[in-house]
Amino acid sequence: MTTKDIVYIALFAALTAALGLMPPIHFAGAALPPITAQSLGVMLAGAVLGAKRGGFALLLFIALVAVGLPLLSGGRGGFGVLLGTSGGFLLAWPFCAALIGYLIENDSAAGPVKTGVYVALGGIALMYAAGIPWMAFIGKLGLGKSLSIMVAYVPGDLVKVVLATLIARGLRRAYPNL
């Protein structure tokens, strides 16, 4: 791993933290946690940096959250958040970024739609596949009920997939040798 790889890893971890400063979108009053721009960082890291660096960037981010830095949207941090109801989603982030990176690296000729599908596979499918069972386990809820809670987040996540795909393709064109 070169110096530049280390720098990219650190910068995309920092970028994910900075995206937490975007104001969250409240959509169900106070009934459900708001949608934040932060998981966009997961998608961008994977799509722009590739599997290895993208995965490490989010691993670094999650480690910094774990040790108590208030980097999650709303100034949250610490082990408590990672053990809480949305812990599965957060702990999955490094793997989601790595999967997105892996899929895109192995199909460099992919058009925008295909790239979007890859981003969705890592950024929605894998994230939910890890997060929903965790939520079910922590809350003893059963998969069905947890799944129905998360359905409310799908539209927002689809928007993020489109954004991440547009941004990542733009960046890849501007900086082909990242």
Q: Is 136 in the site for another protein (CB under 8 A)?
A: no
Interface residue with another protein, options 125, 143, 154, 166 (CB under 8 A): 166
Q: Is 143 in the site for another protein (CB under 8 A)?
A: no
Q: Is 67 in the site for another protein (CB under 8 A)?
A: yes
3-state secondary structure the chain: CCHHHHHHHHHHHHHHHHHCCCCCECCECECCCCECCHHHHHHHHHHHHCHHHHHHHHHHHHHHHHCCCCCECCCECCHHHHHCCCHHHHHHHHHHHHHHHHHHHCCCCCCHHHHHHHHHHHHHHHHHHHHHHHHHHHHCCCHHHHHHHHHHHHHHHHHHHHHHHHHHHHHHHHCCCC
Q: Is 158 in the site for another protein (CB under 8 A)?
A: no
Contacts to another protein from residues 89-128, by CB under 8 A: none
Query: Residues 21-60: x/- map of binding to another protein (CB under 8 A)?
Result: xxx------xxxx---x--x---x---x-------x---x
